[in-house]
Chain A
Amino acid sequence: MTAINTDFGKDLSKYGAFDFNACYNCGTCTAVCTLSTEEDSFPREMQRFSVLGLEDDLKGSLKPWLCYYCGQCTTYCPQNANPGELMMSLRRWLISVYDWTGLSGLLYKSLPATTAGMILIAAVVLFYSFSVDFDLSRIMHTGHTFEIIAIVGVFSIILLPNLIRMWWFIILKPRIQVPVINYLKALWDLIVHMFTQKRALGCDDNELRWFEHFILVLGYLGLLFTTVFLNWFSSDSVFVIVMGYIVSIIVFTVTLIFVYDRIRKKDEISKYSQPSDWLFIIWLTAMGLSAFIVRLFIDTGLLENNKWLYLVHLIILAQWALIIVPFGKWTHFLYRSFAMYFHRVIS
């Protein structure tokens, strides 16, 4: 027996969902969705669970991650109940559920909290720089060390426990019996989905989107690799330098396209933007662009007289690494890949 919780809907609307209560359960959304299948029918079921506030069912569901937001459901919804945006909001909500720190939820729901966090990080970076008398090489060195620590730290302290929680919600809590071998067999899927978001191809008219994502992931991981492991800003290798340029250009061009789409609001996916969406794409653009300019300034010998430029880059980087990656939209990329992985493991 399940009890209804009408307050859940109010909570969910803080994650961006709206008008989903208008649903009269005709099932059009499920029927027009190209990714929906007999085994996994959505989004109506998610819509229904959200209206009734069946949190436990939602927590253990992978369906929000199976959706790639082509927007057909929203376009054809006869009641304007916006199932596409509901699925997006559910993903945001799920991230806050998986996150043991509770910060995800706070940052999603509260723009002031997010702003405060951003300012705090900027302040710490500036304070540190001030404490070392704005010695560029020391700052750059610390910056590089910070990157390494941040990656390892964020992953082991926040993301890994969250992934374990996700596993618990999806497989352990509902007591789904899974042979261990499945975990191994499904590993390939994890990698494929992480890089390609292959399923998005099933969405109508979306081949360009899949390509954009693929290039962006390549660019992003490339930038991470070049800056952290090849130490791009300090490297003398022409190969590394050129590669850094290329990947950073990829990152900021692709993200600029995203920004443009969100401003234009033409497609369903980019019609409704939450602060977290804006933060993600703006910071990613800014990161690619600032890294690009920093290296350009290094190569043209201008950086010494424009230390502020690196500081800006470092602030963006720190904010990115400490807020957006562990708690923000970046995690979609991670959880979605793991969702596909768990989905494979279960089936």
Chain B
Amino acid sequence: MKKKLGVYICHCGGNISDYIDVEKVRAAIENEEGVFLAKTTMFACSDATQKEMVQDIETNDLDGLVVASCSPKLHLITFRAVTERAQLNKYNYVHANIREQGSWAHSDDKEGATEKAVQLVKAAVAKVRLSKSLEPIKIPSKKAVVIIGAGIAGMRAAIELAHMGCPVTLIERDHFTGGRVAQWDILFTSDQTGREIVSRLYNEINNSKNITLLTGAEVISNKGSIGNFRLQVKIKPRYIKDHFDDDKLKKVIAVCPVEVPDEYNFNVTNRKAIYQNPGQYPKYPVIDIKNCTRCGECEKVCDNIDFSLKEEVIEVEAGSILVATGFDPYIPQDGEFGYNEIDNVITLPQFKRLIDLCHNDLLFNGKAIKSIAYIYCVGSRQSEGENKYCSRYCCTSAIHTSIQVKKNFKNVKNFHFTRGIRTYGKQELLYYESQKDGDIYLQSYEENPLMVSTENGKICVKINDILTGNREISVEPDLVVLVTGIVPRSDTSISQIFKLPGGRDRFFNEIHPKLRPVETVIDGITIAGTCQGPKNVTESLNSGLSAATKSFSLVNKGELELEPIIAEIDKNKCTWCGECEKACPFDAIRMVKQGDKDVAAINNSVCKGCGMCLPVCPVNAINLISYSDKEIESMIDSLAGKG
């Protein structure tokens, strides 16, 4: 039992003290058992107050610290660090949340809030009285990072990690690298093409000793955790033995009788069952075994084909995992602005592929396209649907594309049906260029959506244009381009394997958008690129590189410190029934011999401290460190006002 406790109650510059009478709280707890000093402070987190705490602990030889302030999610680590600087073990610190669960939640009831704060602080004091000094569990961390997804963010992160001297395994589910960027032609802002960038990155990856690239590879399960992830990776064969040259490839493609929609071109063209697009890397064709009819024609003209190749599963180890799984383009529902119902209604990704494939004339279904209507915010900012968010990149992308169209093809007219253009930052200059060049912009609100219909065989787009006094304006374009947004990957296998939580928008959630934007609640896993939320290329790169730095610092030292909050077996009480072993999701409990008796034992580096084994023990022989019966029950006593 501790006797010299320090308690600090924070005003939070009014955030707390406007609703909670912090002086009253202080007065109420200063005579609690063990409380040596109790103070209020304007900002507990400020440097000066932290210094003061260190001094107080050192001069008074305090053995426990309580800070009542905001949520522990913000400052638990801050104040633990304070105790450490004062040579006090950090587990002798207990945090009381009197802002998020105090002043703010009860700003309608100042007295009640103050009363609650008193109880919360008393409970914290009760807990710290019983707290024990703990030392972190040190585990080795394998100096290797697995990156899932070889899109632009993943590839760039891999290269940076390799530069830092860290071995990387880059796992790509597709047979080719580059993700979405490999599909784009000229990009904003440097006017490089997506393929140029991807080929450059690919060559760097190929030449790097530190990077192992696995394509056609899928993570199917994970057996480890931070410092020592062990991933099972299934690698699908390409059914090709060796690389072969372009001439041979042409021949093989020519003889293949199968034609299926080409997803690289978002299905605006077809491809054969053996395929490799010019901009795709590795330059190594693949046989689409699902659609292959095994007719054997290809084998006749080429001896590099080998249908006997088998799927294999390998294990990859790493200290940290960087998830960069990218996005799916939104696919409009049938009939959404005429999609799939009216001819010549396509999505922006399809259109971008189309203009890349057209050379002298802009043709779609054999007809020349002279006027184009772009419909914005398709699948984003939905008032009815579930995608409430803005997809961020589409305004700029559509405008940039429309400028390219005008540059590449003569006499094309662009009509933009928008919900307010969002070319933020320097991208505004593109919007200016496009307008000055004569593109027409119209705008409507979500309450009054525009209509796409056909009249006498022509497409007609009607809008109540708020820029023209809400007048109904119509255009008869040759082609309608739906500017579709970004949606999270429909394949959720990665989030299931790693238990990565998503946000309201269903993208992966970071811990904190400002403090820790690439880290997740799962220790050791960072996220980068569009799997975290819509981003353009530069932004994806920034987040990929940020995630690379964070993952690097997790594995760089070869050792990690883990929280010592794990389960503890009272071996005297334990009678080994095996219930706890069954309950543990991490395989952390084994039976061991204790003298002549079988008892349970905890594997410290595997135990995550979830506590699932606690309630199943029939003899109550398990306690979670820091959440022992004594601690919890004394907190309940204090909260009930009967402490």
Contact = CB atoms under 8 A, between A and B. Distances in A.
B359 interface: no
Contacts of B431: 24
A48 B440 contact: no
A3 B474 contact: yes
6 contacts: A1-B473, A2-B472, A4-B415, A6-B413, A24-B421, A52-B468
Interface of B is mostly: mixed
A23 B471 contact: no
Measured as residues with beta carbon below 8 angstroms from the partner, the interface class of chain A is 10 to 19
B445 interface: no
A21 B471 contact: no
Nearest to A19: B436
A211 B441 CA distance: 42
A73 interface: no
Contacts of A6: 413, 438, 440
Q: Among the interface residues A3, A21, A48, A54, which one has the most CB atoms of the partner chain B within 10 A?
A: A21
A3, A6, A23, A48 — most chain B CB neighbours (10 Å)? A6
B467 A4 contact: no
Contact of B473 (A22, A24, A52, A79): A52
Contacts of B439: 21
B437 interface: yes
Contacts of B473: 1-4, 52
Contacts of B435: 21-24, 79
A4 B436 CA distance: 17
Contacts of A110: none
Given A24-B441, A52-B468, 9 more contacts: A2-B471, A2-B472, A3-B476, A4-B475, A19-B436, A21-B435, A21-B436, A48-B467, A79-B435
B469 interface: yes
Contacts of A49: 468
B464 to A, nearest CB: 10
A68 B432 CA distance: 28
Given A2-B471, A4-B475, A52 B436 contact: no
A25 B468 CA distance: 9
A22 B440 contact: no
B472 A22 contact: no
Interface string A18-37: 01011111000000000000
Scoring B436, B473, B474 by chain A CB atoms within 10 A of each residue's CB, the highest score goes to: B436
B440 A4 contact: yes
Contacts of B438: 6, 9, 21
Interface in B451-473: 462, 467-469, 471-473
Nearest to B472: A1
A3 B475 contact: yes
B413 A22 contact: no
Given A1-B462, A6-B413, A22 B432 contact: yes
Give the residue among B421, B472, B473 with the most A Cβ atoms within 10 A.
Answer: B473
A159 interface: no
A39 to B, nearest CB: 14
A3 B431 CA distance: 23
A51 interface: yes
Contact of A2 (B432, B436, B467, B474): B474
A147 to B, nearest CB: 47
B472 A51 contact: no
Contacts of B436: 19, 21-22
Nearest to A54: B468
A9 B435 CA distance: 13
Q: Which of B435, B438, B476 has the most CB of A within 10 A?
A: B435
Interface in A297-311: none
Nearest to A79: B432
Contacts of B437: 21
A189 interface: no
A212 interface: no
A25 B432 contact: no
A48 B421 CA distance: 17
Given A1-B473, A4-B473, A25 B467 contact: yes
Contacts of B415: 4
Contacts of B441: 24
A31 to B, nearest CB: 15
Interface in B299-332: none
A1 B469 contact: no
A25 B467 CA distance: 7
A3 B455 CA distance: 14
A49 B468 CA distance: 8
Interface string B209-246: 00000000000000000000000000000000000000
Contacts of A24: 421, 431-432, 435, 441
A224 to B, nearest CB: 43
A24 B467 CA distance: 9
Contacts of A268: none
A45 B437 CA distance: 20
Interface string A34-75: 000000000001001101101000000000000000000000
Contacts of A21: 435-439
A239 B476 CA distance: 69
A334 to B, nearest CB: 30
A281 to B, nearest CB: 31
Contacts of A52: 440, 468, 473
A147 B440 CA distance: 49
Nearest to A45: B469
